[in-house]
Amino acid sequence: LPETRTDAAMSELVPEPRPKPAVPMKPVSINSNLLGYIGIDTIIEQMRKKTMKTGFDFNIMVVGQSGLGKSTLVNTLFKSQVSRKASSWNREEKIPKTVEIKAIGHVIEEGGVKMKLTVIDTPGFGDQINNENCWEPIEKYINEQYEKFLKEEVNIARKKRIPDTRVHCCLYFISPTGHSLRPLDLEFMKHLSKVVNIIPVIAKADTMTLEEKSEFKQRVRKELEVNGIEFYPQKEFDEDLEDKTENDKIRQESMPFAVVGSDKEYQVNGKRVLGRKTPWGIIEVENLNHCEFALLRDFVIRTHLQDLKEVTHNIHYETYRAKRLNDNGGLPPGEGLLGTVLPPVPATPCPTAE
């Protein structure tokens, strides 16, 4: 009897076998053409219409030594007098010297697309007796625009569309010495490359022969690499193999762009062209046999403009934002949760492991 009871108890404890779950069928790919048109591909058109209504911002800064034609090149780039606000100024007059940092805004429209272009013209440097820390006013201006955007972003009742005054692109003008970069250029770019997208440009390239230009470009690339100065497009931001292939070609062949700028038009073979008149002929600005201006224009405007804006927002601005909020204990800059002004909060040191 005891053995019988034990066997009965054990049989009660053994769970009944459960039926095996049904194996789900593999999803069958359905050809949408068989069921009719859905319309997913219209998203691109929707985005295009919205962008055309609102327009977009692009802010470009020009930096470099005095007398390299910074203002002239920007005018040439956008085929209008964007470096000067006064409409009374005409092409025949000499462009006045820039003596302070000026942000000049224009609305440019082409093919129904509106772009609010802001040109930040900076005073030439390097012609003072003491050039120590001469990059500080420019670096300060760039950081001030990040700060302005950050304060708008952390507001409780913030604007639907925050005005974007952040510098998306900085054209750095290199003097066409044909030898090497000056220590001041290296120091200047070293500081600016940490806060903004730098595109190096050799100005007044018509002062060099083709051989001199090629050798100087190679020398500049080598010096930038040796000194750890990263210019746009930065290698670590290449998103895929296609981007890497395209950008490697630009980094190894085109950079720095050797350009010539001019506001003046001349008649060449029955066509009106922008150029510089010399005793031996006309140097055509948009002729690739004469200079690389067309490559620079295509790079900045036609292929990489949106990427310049994205790298500014996702990399440079985010770096500034993280540092600023960390320095302030995670609170919005200068304010508490209820709008009361707070003193700077010192960073708390991490406890050391004993």
Nearest to 125 by CA among 159, 94, 99: 99
What pLDDT was estimated at residue 325?
A: 87
pTM above 0.85, yes or no: no
Q: Could you tell me which residues are beta bridge partners of residue 121? A: 62, 102
pLDDT at 87: 41
Tell me: cis bond preceding 256? Omega within 30 of 0 counts: yes
Q: How far lies 298's CA from each of 136, 294, 301, 303, in Å?
A: 31, 6, 5, 6
Q: What is the pLDDT of residue 310?
A: 93
- Specify the pLDDT at position 76: 83
Give the pLDDT of residue 341. Answer: 44
What are the 10-residue block averages of pLDDT along the chain, 354 residues in total? 51 56 56 68 85 85 86 80 51 56 86 86 71 83 94 85 92 88 90 94 90 93 93 85 87 90 85 86 87 91 92 95 83 50 48 45
All structural domains of the chain: 51-82+96-261+289-326 (3.40.50.300)
pLDDT of residue 311: 94
Surface-to-core class of residue 182, CB atoms within 10 Å of its CB (0-12 exposed, 13-18 middle, 19+ buried):
middle
* Closest by Cα among 197, 309, 311 to 255: 197
DSSP 205: G
Instruction: Tell me what pLDDT residue 37 has.
Output: 78
Whether residue 142 contacts residue 103, with contact meaning beta carbons closer than 8 Å, is answered with no
Q: Which two tokens stand for residue 257?
A: 């762009």
If phi over 0 gives left and psi between -120 and 50 gives alpha, with beta otherwise, what is residue 347?
beta
Amino acid in the structure at residue 76: T
